[in-house]
Amino acid sequence: MNNKKDIRALSKEQLREFFVKEGDKAFRGNQVYEWLWVKSAHSFDDMTNISKETRAMLEENFVINHIKVDAMQKSSDGTIKNAVKLHDGLIVESVLIPAKNRTTACVSSQVGCSLDCKFCATARLKRMRNLNPDEIYDQVVAIDKESRLYHNRPLSNIVFMGMGEPLMNYNNVLKAIDKITSDEGLGMSPKRIVVSTSGVPKMIKKMADDGVKFKLAVSLHSAIDEVRTSIMPFNATFPLTDLREALQYWFLKTKNRITYEYVVWKGINDKQKDIDALIEFCKFAPSKVNLIEYNPIDDGEFQQASNQAIESYVSQLEKNNITVTVRRSRGKDIDAACGQLANKS
Ligand code: SF4
């Protein structure tokens, strides 16, 4: 471990100020910033248009903390899972999901998770720390490179659905997205980014107030408080009425519809009353539903519901003019599917 400051924690303005204080030109800050973010320099020695003396001075004061893809696993369906080692040795996972016309990166925002969803492998790791903006950004850069290398096209979409609850690390997630969408970063459109939350009402309102341009998905899984609390215990603190009110606020301010992520489990939420409650919940703000195939993580407390139950959801949602998609899981053979990320590799 190193006590020098991570230079990528500085904003462009802070870098410019640093150089002025050192008796250099503010412009030097722009040059270094470009090396760090556009050219992804891993060492000060790579910065060939910066004098040797300046590079040595930077070396004395700072460190460039880059992630390292420690292990990469490829699924038979083309999905790739990266085990990403951070500068302090901790590991998170990110996943590349190829489809016909797009490649999606699923990235992590925390090491472990602050929340305790019963069906999720990450929850068992507990939260160890938040990821820094550069650690989130680097996961995206790594997947973009893999997408170009193995699928002959750049990364097109990003979902914050990996390890962690992104809204519990809001400031760093926002800073990472700023870099990803900036011309001085990856220049991606915010419309191609989805932040998926388990539903923290106060933070959903804050996002709306902050005028964010990315899309919002909520892991809903049940629109009945009692059921939701049994599988997502934090729902006792943030009940559905609060969530509903925050989502209405979100739509009012952003005019962006919400995606509900929803897994149907046998014996948990596969009854008619569950479908009725979801249909009612969808009426509060314009939304669509993704029904996601479940990937068992252990001895079978949670099991995928029957096809009949899923078809029942689909037909009744459609009858009520609610857009619904059934999402098949990808990368199951390498534990890369939703809810399976737990540093097992
Ligand atoms: S589902 Fe998401 S919010 Fe819930 S424990 Fe897992 S990583 Fe955390």
Q: What is the mean pLDDT of each run of 10 residues along the chain (345 residues)?
A: 81 95 95 90 94 95 92 90 94 93 94 88 81 95 94 95 94 95 91 96 97 96 97 95 97 96 94 98 95 76 90 97 87 61 56
- What's 162's DSSP letter? S
Q: What are the tokens at 155? A: 């990364």
C-alpha distances in Å from residue 15, one per residue of 60, 63, 177: 15, 14, 20
| Residue 201: predicted pLDDT | 97
SS (HEC) of 228-249 = HHHHCHHHHCCCHHHHHHHHHH
pLDDT number for residue 328: 76
Distance 48 CA to ligand 1 centre (A): 43
pTM of the model: 0.90
Other C-beta atoms within 10 Å of 113: how many?
25
Q: In whole angstroms, how far apart are CA 129 and each of 95, 159, 163, 337?
A: 20, 20, 11, 23
Give me the phi and psi of 141, to 5 degrees please: -60, -45
- The verdict on the CB of residue 341 being under 6 Å from ligand 1 is no
Whether 263 is in the pocket of ligand 1, judged by its Cβ within 6 Å, is: no
Alpha-carbon distance of 250 to 252, in angstroms, equals: 6
State how far the Cα of 19 lies from the Cα of 33, in Å rounded to an integer: 12
The reply to whether ligand 1 has any atom less than 6 angstroms from the CB of 268 is no
Ligand 1 atom 4, closest CA: 117
Phi and psi of 96, rounded to 5°? Answer: -105, 125
User: How far is ligand 1, taken at its centre, from the CA of residue 110, in Å?
Assistant: 10
What pLDDT was estimated at residue 345? 46
User: In the structure encoding, which two tokens stand for residue 15, read together?
Assistant: 């870098």
Distance from the alpha carbon of residue 12 to the mean position of ligand 1, in angstroms: 33
Instruction: Provide the pLDDT for residue 335.
Output: 66
Residues 24-28: contacts with CB within 8 Å, 24+ apart?
Answer: 24/54, 28/54
